[in-house]
Amino acid sequence: MARPVRLVLASQLGSDIDGAWWPHTASVASELPELIGVLHASLGEIVDIGINWSPTEGPVDLDSIVTGARTIDRPGPRRPRLMKVEGKSACAKLLVVPYMTSPNLGAMVMRCAAGLPAVHADRGTTLWETAHNVMGVAKAESAMWAGRLRKAAAKSAVEV
């Protein structure tokens, strides 16, 4: 591996967000094999991966998620990118931290996603608040995504 996989997992899985993955580049597909390799130890053999975004969606800016800023190509805030990785032993729902996120914000979001405590000096700072707001939006999106997946599965079961 040229660069280490930037991944954190909570000590217990099963929440709306179980951790975060922070790719080094915009090419998520090229970094996916390394992610799978690292997750194998925690989840067992990876059997399925689901994402909540389309390939045509551009990268998201974490600050725009929090502020609700509009972009030229899309008239509303973008959803945080989530990835559900299912292994034979366990499943993890990951927030995908955009590759272009600043090192300080990225590190803080990673800590929050894994449920790790913040250093006392960080509490109450704009960076800490932004990271916690990003996690709030990500958890809400995860819950909505899970609901959509359940409805789709129920519909498929009825059609069969």
Spatial separation of the C-alpha atoms in residues 81 and 41, rounded to whole Å: 23
CA 38 to chain centre: 16
Question: Is 2 domain-assigned?
Answer: no
What does the pLDDT look like over 24-69, one tens digit per residue?
A: 998 899 999 999 999 999 999 999 999 998 877 777 778 766 665 5
pLDDT number for residue 158: 76
- pLDDT mean over 117-138: 85
Question: Is 126 domain-assigned?
Answer: yes
What does the pLDDT look like over 71-115, one tens digit per residue?
A: 555 555 568 999 999 999 999 999 999 999 999 999 999 999 999
What residues make up the domain containing 108? 7-159
Question: Is 1 domain-assigned?
Answer: no
Question: Is 153 domain-assigned?
Answer: yes
- The DSSP result for 97-143, as a single string, is --TTS-HHHHHHHHHHHTTPPPPGGGTTSHHHHHHHHHHHHHHHHHH
* Burial status of residue 66 (CB atoms within 10 A of its CB: 0-12, 13-18, 19 or more): middle
Question: Is 151 domain-assigned?
Answer: yes
Question: Is 68 domain-assigned?
Answer: yes
pLDDT number for residue 67: 62
Spatial separation of the C-alpha atoms in residues 144 and 125, rounded to whole Å: 29
For all residues of the chain together, what is the average pLDDT?
A: 87
Q: Which of 134, 103, 111 is nearest to 8 (CA)?
A: 111
**Total domains present in the chain:** 1
What does the pLDDT look like over 75-87, one tens digit per residue?
A: 555 689 999 999 9
